[in-house]
Amino acid sequence: MCIIFHKEKGVQLDKETLEDMAFLNPDGFGITWLDTGTTNWTREDHVAVKWGLSKRPFVLHMRYATVGKKNLANCHPFEAGQHGKLYMNGTIKGFANEDKTDTEQLAMVIANIDDPTELLESFEARFCLVDEDCNVTRYGDWIEHKGYWTSKEVDTWFGHGGSGIQTHSPERHLVAVYGTLKSGFRNDYHLDGATFVDWGFTQERHRLVISGLPFLIEGTDDFERGENVEVEIYSVLSETLARLDRLEGHPHFYKRKKIPIRSHGSKTTGRILMYCWVYFVDESYDSQTGQYHIEFHDDQGVHMIDMDQDIAPFHPDDEANAHDDGDDFINATSYGSH
């Protein structure tokens, strides 16, 4: 799953190593020459090997595609605003789509962050940023060699009987929260240790039922009521996700489901699509009583909670009029839920 080489001037890499790495990571190659700042891309492995044999200083990425199309446009690096060019070795769940890689999406996010260190170090992937002065900053567990660094241990992959580098960082997940789990509200301590990624709103419209604790119900109802609900997006460890599951009673009360979230972004990057875990409830609506019947399950069976309907009507112009400061988002923070 990809490899990055960061090499100093005058160091000679082994040809067989480069050929083996290009064979195992054949889906595209990108290099930034640290003596000139020039970046080149290719889909040809023999070109990448030739680059790697140069004694010039460089950062070289060899791609093994796990997300995003296999084409030149998805070859690393990607522009990350003031931070320069971003290279990544690894996969970040929820950041990619059919066309774009998770690295490009992440580069668009960190372009709007003054210091991306905390966010980058929260993932199990390895990263490399090359700024406009060709200064290189590496993040994650890199392997140091004599005069160069690799994002993985190359000796474990070829001719030595190994099965690939093992990751030592816990798995992380993207979670989108609304209500009192948001920063500054009474349940935000459940997200201690989580890394804030961005603000955003649900890509599809959902019903936020406001009656005491807000309940998020998937989709619109028969009257087409529903909102693009505002959320905060966090990267969390598996243990934090399990803690949230206990808080929400997943899967017996709230049910956790992965859905598309459109990040706040900026006027420069636009909004970025991520796939995040969100907590929903099951429901049925009684049009005669005007109540939602919220269903939950436990060891004693199936139970129903009757809640008065309190859904703000959807206005078709809301999404079109939304702008980058987020003022037109549907804000659930005052309602006392997630």
What's the distance, Cα to Cα, between the start and end of the chain in Å?
Answer: 35
- Measured CA to CA in angstroms, residue 123 lies from 67, 97, 172, 248 at distances of 16, 18, 7, 25
Residue with the two structure tokens 């243990």: 239
- Alpha carbons 258 and 264: distance in angstroms, whole number: 18
Are the C-beta atoms of residues 210 and 310 closer than 8 Å to each other?
A: yes
Q: In terms of Cα–Cα distance, which of 128, 138, 147 is closest to 12?
A: 147
- Which listed residue (218, 227, 248, 283) is catalytic? 248
Cis peptide before 251 (omega within 30 of 0): yes
Is residue 163 exposed (0-12), middle (13-18) or buried (19+ Cβ within 10 Å)?
Answer: exposed
Q: Is 239 a catalytic residue?
A: no
What are the phi and psi torsion angles at 241 (to 5°)? Answer: -60, -40
Enzyme catalytic residues: 248
